[in-house]
Chain A
């Protein structure tokens, strides 16, 4: 008797599997890479896309939400993008060749070259069976760059990574190494024009004593789905600040999987989710403190308007050896529409006994005292409320240690409010 699949594939699942079949021979990579790709899509094909029954995807039912998969390559020339701020060094993730005018100490290798040599085969293996983003990306990945910042390099100008897409699909991967004692600011743009499915995996290693500010700005159109993953490892006495602004997209999921594996390592995350229209934005973080004396603070601020929905899952795990860990996490949401919603799931798993850890998730409201103060100066109520809603997110953006970038992000927030406020 033949075994039948009881559940019929969704349109998106079928499209992904069929697209893979059609493309597999043209995707870049060594023979071993093709094998890794087939393994990855095989897993997706066997299990299907996750539903809310899968714990990691409980609040984002991917199987239901990923309605269709656009056909064709979403690559564009990338010229349509305006830099976040003046004086940034642009890196187009779609480009065939590395740019020639890179700052000293920065090395860029097109991903295609690494794939052809089979050098990424190992990293293409999904992290676990539920790692659907990793699997989809491994199956299809064809664009991106490997970026290396040499030990001791202090980059004055930020690097700006982007893959401005058109209609279709794009699957990007960006392995990044920040050398020991290096200092850098990297801006990642997730933006384009045209219905698309974008997946991305960033694998980041921050060396001992290095300092990195990574600013992720997602402003996809309302018909684009963006599924990404950032995996990072922090060395001894390193400092990594991840700033995220979500201000667009239809279905967006950012997975952040970090390991603080050197003593004295510090991770700071500031995430602003501006949810409008019918968008669904999910930020899911798993952070491992595995050695003594590491610190981490994650602050997430959400504004949910329209019929939008949002998710923050934050899991902090403190290993038995990781004494003196200081881990803080806070997620605050302002619901400005009755039809919007936000789900927050903070979790602490602590095995060490001498730590300072805390988390909080709140639904915030406009402070009536603040409102009275502004109105007592003649600012009409609706305008005063709008100022305070914006202040709720601007507050954490202004703290960033890069004035030009903070200003540019505040301008992005203004832009969003002009469209959605």
Chain B
């Protein structure tokens, strides 16, 4: 279970406060959507959960299965089951995608005390996941994300998620830059991963994605705080009325 309590965070470099007391609980099996206008702190929230050191937590806590993760580095958080699907996945020249997948998967397995996977088993899993996401295997021979289109990068993120089998999946604007067909493929990939012991935090600006990944709860983030929470109908209300009304009510 993810419990975010009164979380305050600022940009490390210049001290600009971004998160101003976020409270949020996501239970195992739950898909929670975080919506909000641009600049409300959605992406920051995802980075702070993943442990990016560009942000400083000044107050509050993030508990993952009852334990604070604030002192853990990003790799330790990942090993504990946290996964962030990036809005803008990095291109990393010189690192072959396949080697990256193998290194990441086996690093996580090793830290959990599992045997590293042998290459044939690894390949089998990658092929199966790639087929499900309608990805061309030749892409995986290229350096990580280099020359991938926006849609290919998003698929590659979901591919990694499938392989790493995290327990908390944070999807940061996974719908941005996707056409409707790619969106469906990606959403199917996510839906296949939904299970009783896995929680999702789906961050999105638009309701569109939530037609395909139907959330259990919707939370509106504004100026670094959750100003409204509700069921999936809240997303539809936002789509109809825009953010202004809810922001007005909260103010």
Question: Given A379-B103, A384-B75, A391-B95: A372 and B164 within 8 A (CB)?
Answer: no
Given contacts A383-B107, A395-B143, contact A377 B78 (CB under 8 A): yes
Cα A374 to Cα B92 in complex, Å, equals 9
Cβ-closest chain B residue relative to A372: B52
B66 CB–A CB distance under 8 Å:
no
B104 cross-chain contacts in A, Cβ below 8 A: 374, 377-379
Contact A378 B108 (CB under 8 A): yes
Q: Is B160 an interface residue (CB 8 A)?
A: yes
Question: What CA separation (Å) do A391 and B90 show in the bound complex?
Answer: 14
Q: Does B94 contact A (CB under 8 A)?
A: yes
Q: Give the A-B contact count at a CB cut-off of 8 A.
A: 78
CB<8 Å pairs between A and B, sample of 6: A374-B95, A376-B75, A377-B83, A383-B103, A393-B94, A398-B94
A376-B74, A379-B107 given; 20 more Cβ-contact pairs under 8 Å: A372-B74, A373-B90, A374-B100, A375-B73, A375-B74, A375-B78, A376-B77, A376-B83, A377-B83, A377-B104, A377-B164, A378-B75, A379-B75, A379-B104, A383-B107, A388-B92, A388-B94, A390-B94, A394-B95, A395-B93
Chain B residues with CB under 8 A of A388: 92, 94-95
The contact string, 1 if C-beta is below 8 Å from chain B, for chain A 385-397, is 0011011111100
Q: Does A370 contact B (CB under 8 A)?
A: yes
Q: In this complex, which of B74, B77, B84, B143 has the most chain A Cβ atoms within 10 angstroms of its Cβ?
A: B74
Q: Which residues of B contact A369 (CB under 8 A)?
A: 90
How far is A64 from B114 in the complex, measured between Cα atoms in Å?
A: 54
**Bound Cα distance from A380 to B75, whole angstroms:** 5
B50 on interface, CB distance cutoff 8 Å: yes
Q: Which of A377, A381, A395 has the most CB of B within 10 A?
A: A377
Measured as residues with beta carbon below 8 angstroms from the partner, the interface class of chain B is 20 to 34
Residue in A370, A376, A383, A390 whose CB lies within 8 Å of B51: A376
Known A-B contacts A384-B75, A390-B94; A376 and B84 likewise in contact (beta carbons under 8 Å) = yes
Which B residues, 142 to 185, have Cβ-Cβ distances below 8 Å to chain A? Answer: 143, 160, 164
Q: Which of B88-108 contact A (CB under 8 A)?
A: 89-90, 92-95, 100, 103-104, 107-108
A373 touches B86 (CB 8 A): yes
C-alpha spacing A392/B164, complex, angstroms: 26
- Convert A243-281 into 0s and 1s, putting 1 for each residue whose CB lies closer than 8 angstroms to a CB of B: 000000000000000000000000000000000000000
B37 to nearest A CB, angstroms? 25
Kindly list chain B residues whose C-beta atoms are within 8 Å of the C-beta of A370.
90, 92
Q: CA separation between A388 and B75, bound complex, in Å? A: 15
Contacts of B122 in A (CB 8 A): none
Partner of A380, one of B83, B89, B107: B107
